[in-house]
Copies of this chain bind each other. A is one copy, B any other.
Amino acid sequence: MGWSSWERFRCTVDCQRFPDECISDRLFRLTADLLVSEGYAEAGYKYVIIDDCWLSKKRDSKERLQPDPERFPHGMKQLACYIHSKGLKFGIYENCGRTCEGYPESKDHLQLDAQTFADWGVDYVKLDGCFVDINILDRVYPAFGYYLNQTGRPMVYSCSWPYYYMRKGLKTDFKKVSKHCNLWRNYHEIEDSWKRLQEIINWFGENHYKIGKHAGPGHWNDPDMLIIGNYGLSLEQSKTQMAVWAILAAPLIMSNDLCAVSPELKDILLNEEIIAINQDVLGIQGKRVKKEQGISVWVRPITPVRYSHSYAVAFTSNRDYGVPYTYSVGLKEIGLKNRAGYTFKDLYGDEEFILHPHENLTVRINPSGVVFYKASVLV
């Protein structure tokens, strides 16, 4: 859980014109401050992740990576100290080849770069794969992971490895990926739109059988950043992203302007019960179990387990008619078979009720919205 600069701030490097938005020491200090003061850190969002465009165009005299001297005048070590002093963790971005925005590449300096990051106090590294021969990824990703471990500093390792395979229509060896990486992006990157979010959600719905089993504590499929609080999603759509990310056991990495998140969207990002589902200790990735009439049903096994699992159950909608849609499904049909039944708690409302396996769960789902329950097993 954390925050990344990419989706919201991209490669804004003109600090003169856009002082509050450029990829700079100031932005990440401010974000660290806000993560704490606005309650995000307490809710679990700990990582402040600098994405592309932080680098100087040249390595230093000892071939080490260095940040752009104007935008990061105090260097990365001091920035890491500041972030750590807030009780937060520090994440950074590099690329096998030239970064997607054209900054220095890592593939010929893997050991040095891993050590540089460790020296700076980095806690999380995202390694991207723009502009390189796809055939080297199978060598570079494991090698960099190896060097990260060699430093002796624990660093979370985020890989874009499977994405570049997917993009070329090639199969990813997820067993291998999950051995070397802690999280990995599987599909196209998110944009600030419901359209792209729908595409991502749909892809994860369709491909569970390929990727689901590789998720577990310490190893996560990554559908990409939370765009809640940006420009493209309605309130309903924001609720949908948060619910599906919880079902998918997805990393919760916001990318937004923490100064500008409206209170009702902040409530979604800070929803304790939903975060608890996302972070459930079992680490089982949920899946889409039904899709019909424009409605998808998602189920994730979670704790508490008493003989059988509890479940998170979400209903999402691709319908865009203005009226909420009534949908009904039998509990058994979606795999909820515990004889004593379940207590259902509406995670975006107050409702609470008990249902048994032979009964139907009937919901009304708003257009592009979601209904999201925690179903706790009864004994």
Contact = CB atoms under 8 A, between A and B. Distances in A.
Interface in A327-372: 366-369
Interface centre among A8, A264, A322 (most CB of B within 10 A): A322
A232 B7 contact: no
A203 interface: no
A12 interface: yes
A323 B368 contact: no
Interface string A155-193: 000000000000000000000000000000000000111
Interface residues of A, number: 35
A352 to B, nearest CB: 21
Contacts of A369: 231
Given A231-B234, A231-B367, A195 B320 contact: yes
A82 interface: no
A232 B367 CA distance: 7
Nearest to A366: B231
Contacts of A232: 194, 234, 236-237, 320, 367-368
A255 B323 CA distance: 11
B192 A368 contact: yes
A171 B109 CA distance: 65
B367 A192 contact: yes
A10 interface: yes
Given A234-B232, A236-B231, A236-B232, A193 B368 contact: yes
A321 B234 contact: no
B231 A192 contact: no
A320 B366 contact: no
A99 interface: no
A192 B10 contact: no
Interface of A: 6-10, 12, 17, 21, 191-196, 227, 230-237, 255, 262, 264, 320-323, 326, 366-369
11 contacts: A9-B323, A12-B323, A191-B320, A191-B321, A192-B320, A192-B367, A193-B194, A194-B194, A231-B234, A231-B235, A232-B367
A-B complex: 9 closest residue pairs judged by Cβ atoms: A193-B320, A7-B322, A191-B320, A8-B322, A231-B236, A231-B367, A192-B322, A10-B323, A192-B367
Given A12-B323, A192-B322, 12 more contacts: A9-B323, A10-B321, A191-B322, A192-B321, A194-B194, A194-B232, A195-B320, A227-B322, A230-B322, A232-B234, A232-B236, A233-B234
